[in-house]
Each structure stands twice: as C-alpha cells, then as structure tokens.
Structure 1
Amino acid sequence: MSAGNFFVEHPAVHRFMAEVESILQREKETAMRLAELRTPYRLLLEDETWLPEQFRQANPNSGMGGGIASWLLYQSAEKDLSLFSLVVPPGVTTPIHNHLAWGLVGIYAGEQEEEEFEPPEDRHYPGADASLMKLRFRRVLKTGEFYELIPPHNDVHRVKTVSSEPSISLHLLANDTGCILRQKFDPATGEATPFRSGWSNQQCPESL
C-alpha cells in the first residue's frame, strides 16, 4: 500500500494508517491481518478527539437513502483500502446490503441494532434470491464495540440507529466501498439490486 489521501488531518489517523500499512505489508492472510489490526483499531475507535464535526453529519443526498452519510476519511492510492464514517440518523434503517471486502466495523458514537443475514448458499453477489435469506442473528452494538467482516460468511446485514442521537460507525474496508457496485436486497420481492452508495465528500469516477 503506497501513500494515500487523507481527508482528516489528525495525528491519530496518520498513526493508525501507518500501523495498518505495516501490518498489511507483514501479513498476507486476512484472518491474521484482522487479528493484528484489532488493537490499533480499538484505540482509534475509543479516541473521541480526532473526528471533525463535519464528518458526524447526515447527508440528505445519500446513495443509501434516509440521510445516511458515508464520509471518506482516508483512501489508499490504489483505492483498495478505505477508512470512513457511516452516519445513520436516529430511527433510520439501512437497506440489507453487502460490502464485498474484508475489514473492521465499530461504533464510534450512539448505538446500532444489527441484523446479519445468510444468503442462499452463501451467495451475496448478483443472482442471490433475497427472499430466501435467513436472519442469522440480531444484536445491539454500543459505542466502542466492533466486529470483523470476512466475506462471504458475514458480509450481508442491515443496521438501524436505536439511540436518540445519530450512530456513527467507523469502517476500515479493503475496497473503494462508496464507488464500487454492491448489492442491496429486498426480502419482500426477492430482488438483489446493484447500487453505489457513494461518498458524501468525494465524487466517484464516471467510468465506474
């Protein structure tokens, strides 16, 4: 991973991304990478000082709807690693969606209810019949709690803010999450629909 673009200038973010780069260069297996990333990620998640107010706000023009904002905080030059804050207003639920990348997701502020789904035959790509999805579990995540994503086994979920204030979740994912085509799923119709969530502070290339 070469030098990337920082959209937040704070020592904590620069320090974290330097540790991430060191780990990714040293470890090639996803499980080992995630294991080593947990401690520096937890420290960033628990630090309340570094995230500017502008990256804690909702976005009325969100690609996910409901005012949900995806604020890009860092992206590698190759666009194969993104750090971003996802802001979900109170009472708002995301569509059921996938991420198509390994990574870490944690609650920086507020509380979220997460429902994780198992697509038929572990398929979370186009063609999966959303009507056959099974709810694997439902849980409430509080500030400071986080979890791993390792597709395809735990990559499909939806979240709802259950706190009175917006929830802010910090994502470290191994792709250009806002610009790639992902899928959202509608259990009522069985449809898996391609969508691009976008970034609230950056444009996606028109060629995508």
Structure 2
Amino acid sequence: MDTSDWLVTQVGECLPCDAPRDDEFPASPYRLYRFLTDVEDILRDRPEDEARLAAIRPLVRRLLVSSDWLQGEYRAPDPQTGWSVVILYDEPDFPLTVQMVAWLPGKVSPIHNHGTWGVVAVVSGEEKNTLWKRSPTPEFPDRIESVGDRIFLPGEIISFLPDAIHCIEAMGEEPTITFNLYGVTDYQRRFEFNPRDRTAHLF
C-alpha cells in the first residue's frame, strides 16, 4: 500500500507532500468523533486552505490506519449510475462532510471543481485523475486545458484546493473505494466544465 500524499492546485499541479509513516501514529484507536473535533479545530485556527490541508492530511491517514471498520463502510455502486455515496457524517452548520464513495470500473466523472477544499483517500482500487486548468480567452472565458493525469493507488491521499479542476475514472477490475472529506461548498464557485464547447455551468 502506498503512503504518498499530494496537493492539487488550481493550475493542475499535483505536488508531493510530506506524509507520516503508519508506525508514527499512536497505537490507541483514533475515533471518528475525535477526528471530526480535530478537523474542526484546524478549520477554526487556520484560515488558509493550503495550511488547513497540510494539517488535515495526516489526520485522515491516522483515521484510516486506526479504523479498520472504515474499509467496509461503503455501498456497492448502483449498476445504473455506476457509483454510490455513503454519508458518514453531515450535520447542519458543521463545516465539513465525510463520505465513502464507490465507483464501478470504467466509470468517469464530469470535469469539475468542488468550490471548497477536499481530501480524498484511496481505500481500494485505482483512481485516475485527469487534471485541468483554466485557460481563458476573450471569446471563451471558461476555456480549460488538460494538464495531465495521474493514477492513484490504495493508501494515497489527494488534497484539492477549491478551484482545482479534475475528472476521475475508476481503473482496474474492481470498484474503486475512496474516503472523501469536503469543506463547506461555495455553490457559486463550483462548476462543471465542457472543454469541447469551452463552457462551464454551476454544478
């Protein structure tokens, strides 16, 4: 299992980040409620998204290392849509949402940003991220261009700045399962992009 951490920026860079080793964490269980409280403290004390993500990534890794129950906390993907979402925690006025997401092999998402910071940990399977950046022209202010792609494997953690643009494809022969953590979405900043038409609309 890989233990690499990454930061995806608004211009499609995929930057390696320092990641703790599994044996650096305490042996005691790290409960979901403690994780949520620790993340809430980070959000209160660190206003900058990049600093928040740097502090949250190790907590996500510690939770996944400590909480074996998370490995099976997902729903089989819907054969019609090709994906499923299990909400692990979502409370009104709480500044984050925690999900387990499953994708059938070959399923591809729309090209989008999230309008908030996000952290995605690959639990099983393989996930290809194709990364994009805005490349506006006077005629097409929502034009984007592909920067490249990267396949993420189990154990890798990918963090996203709010305006990072990507699409994902589940690779391999088994469903791809991910642990997803998102901040409060600004729906006026969340878009789905169409590179062929060079347009974007709220997503």
Q: Deviations over 1:38-80 (max 9, x none)?
A: 211112234562237562321356xxxx322232211243153
Q: CA deviation at 1:14?
A: 1.8
Residue aligning to 2:105: 90
Partner residue in 2 for 1:55? 74
Structure 2 length-normalised TM: 0.72
Q: How does 1:51-200 map to 2 (within 5 A)?
A: 51=70, 53=72, 55-60=74-79, 66-121=81-136, 128-129=141-142, 132-152=143-163, 155-175=164-184, 180=187, 182-195=190-203
* Deviates most, 81-90 or 70-79: 70-79
Stretches of structure 1 that go unaligned for 5 or more consecutive residues are: 1-9, 122-126, 196-208
TM-score (norm 1): 0.71
Greater fraction strand: 2
Equivalent residue letter for 1:146: I
The 1-side partners of 2:179 and 2:141 are apart by 28
Alpha-carbon deviation of 1:94?
A: 0.7
CA contact (8 A) 1:46 1:144 kept: no
Unmatched segments (≥5 aa) in structure 2 = 1-28
Q: Does 1:32 align with 2:51?
A: yes
Displaced runs of 4+ in structure 1, greater than 6 A? none
Aligned-partner Cα distance in 1 for 2:46–2:109:
33
1:186 maps to amino acid: N
Give % identity: 29
Q: Distance in 1 between matches of 2:84 and 2:104?
A: 9
CA contact (8 A) 2:30 2:66 kept: no
Taking the aligned partners of 1:53 and 1:171, their CA distance within structure 2 comes to 14
